[in-house]
Amino acid sequence: MSELGKVDSYDELRPANIYDVAANETWLEDQSAQGWHLTGFSGWSGLFARGEPKHCRYRMQPLPKKEKAPDPALMEAYQEMGWTYVATLPGTFHVWRCDDPGAPELDTDPVVQGLGYGYLRRRMVRDRVWNLLALAAAIYFLSAVNWASDTPLLDTLEEFAPGELTVRLLAVVLCVVVMVCEVRAMRRLLRSLREGIPLKRPRPYRRQKWLARCLYGALIGILLLHLVGNLRNINGNSLTNGWDGGDTHSVPKAGVVYVDLRDLEGAEQTEFWSCRTKVLELCPRMYETRQLSLGEAEGPLQPGDSYPVISSAETTHYRLLTEGLARRLVKELSRGRIASLGVYGHPALTAAETDSLDELWWGEDRYYQFVLARLGRQVLFLRYEGETDLWQAEAYFASLLKK
């Protein structure tokens, strides 16, 4: 309350389940007891203004039809009873407040009160159907771009940022939990009222407040990941995919698995073009390393000159979450891939016999050789330009994946 003591108004997330009427009423009454009185609603939040702390009653009455405010005659009649109209939660409830402890209740017969939920119950069923359809459409939209392609797992590993899969799954689960809770709360409420049992107040609402915060946080997380994913660093490397920036002429970090041209072909002078790492839910470790083998310059280097490039090796190493995912990735990487913006293409690869690996694939085009190797849940993909025959390097690839 120290920070809130400096302001005259603020907004606060309401309990996640709006159909747990007694819990929401208890929340509003606790707010008033702390000197914060409801003035309206905005989205998922209640808007509150500072006032004198007081114990008052809040009651939520279901809308009898589609309307933005109660009938003026009803407001006048309730005013005479000591109840003041406060706000309408769009599409669901009118909210009333009473500061007089001696004023009669708005609803005294639970059975009659239950009859007033006819419109709201129909609306809730309709809304939940539409919500489920919208959720299914969102899931399809978010996944269709990847899983409709020939290489869905590869596209996911390349395009998703760390945490994005978890946040999206969490948001979906929380949405479903909220909808289930709302349906159960409505059924429980109507059953109780039909049996003549009035609502019991006060009712706990803390868990629902935390559920609302988690859902709101998950949705904000998705937006932030999307925003950050569209930023670019000073080198022009896209951060969308969740790779670390990587620096030109950097060196691999400890533990990085990559094909070293010094070991593969005995190169004497090498230079790393870039070394990047990534951590993803489906692939706890991903490494991308690009290395050049350099020759001797014919004469003194002038500003802007560089050593001649003899060969190059571009290695991508995946340590998947499961061996099944590794097999799936090999299946996708072994297919031919058309080059596009930011994607190197390669021809379809041919399976080779292997004694030291679980799978070994090879292919070539005009300039490059390609090797795809799998051992357990580790996958290594190499794009190589040079004179070494990669058919003869099986033992070397196996040694890399056995580290």
* Residue with tokens 């033992």, as numbered in its chain: 395
Domain formed by 261-295+307-401, architecture? 3-Layer(aba) Sandwich (3.40)
DSSP state letter for 343: B
Confidence band (pLDDT; 50, 70, 90) for 6?
Answer: low
> Each residue of 22-65: pLDDT tens digit?
999 999 999 999 999 999 999 889 999 999 999 999 999 999 99
pTM score:
0.66
How do the domains of the chain map onto residue ranges? Answer: 4-107, 118-229, 261-295+307-401
Confidence band (pLDDT; 50, 70, 90) for 176?
Answer: confident
> Each residue of 121-172: pLDDT tens digit?
999 889 888 888 887 887 776 665 555 567 888 888 887 777 777 777 777 8
What pLDDT sits at residue 262? 95
Strands ordered across the beta sheet of 350-351: 270-278, 285-294, 309-319, 378-385, 369-375, 359-364, 350-351
pLDDT at 351 over 60: yes
Q: DSSP 3-state helix, strand, coil percentages of the chain (rounded to 5)? A: 40, 25, 40
Phi-psi region of 117 (alpha: psi -120 to 50; beta: other; left: phi over 0): alpha
Contact indicator for 363, 352 with CB cutoff of 8 Å: no
Round to whole Å and give the CA distance between 367 and 385. 6
Amino acid present at 3: E
Round to whole Å and give the CA distance between 402 and 372. 15
Round to whole Å and give the CA distance between 26 and 160. 42
Instruction: Please return the burial class of 299, using the count of CB atoms within 10 Å of its CB with bins 0-12, 13-18 and 19+.
Output: exposed
Confidence band (pLDDT; 50, 70, 90) for 304?
Answer: low
What pLDDT sits at residue 249? 61
Lowest mean pLDDT among 22-26, 180-184, 248-252, 348-352: 248-252
Helical spans, DSSP H, in 230-347:
261-265, 323-333
Lowest mean pLDDT among 151-165, 327-341, 381-395: 151-165
Residue 140 CB neighbour total at 10 angstroms:
11
What pLDDT sits at residue 221? 73
pLDDT at 229 over 80: no
What pLDDT sits at residue 7? 75
CB proximity list for 341: less than 8 A, separation 6 or greater: none
φ/ψ of 89, rounded to 5, equals -80, 110
Percent of the chain with pLDDT over 90: 56
Alpha-carbon separation of residue 360 from 102, 227, 289, 354 (angstroms) = 83, 39, 20, 6
> Each residue of 65-94: pLDDT tens digit?
999 999 999 999 999 999 999 999 999 999
What pLDDT sits at residue 239? 45
* Residue with tokens 């890399």, as numbered in its chain: 400
> Each residue of 94-129: pLDDT tens digit?
999 999 999 999 999 999 999 999 999 999 889 888
- Record the tokens describing residue 401, joined without a space: 């994946």
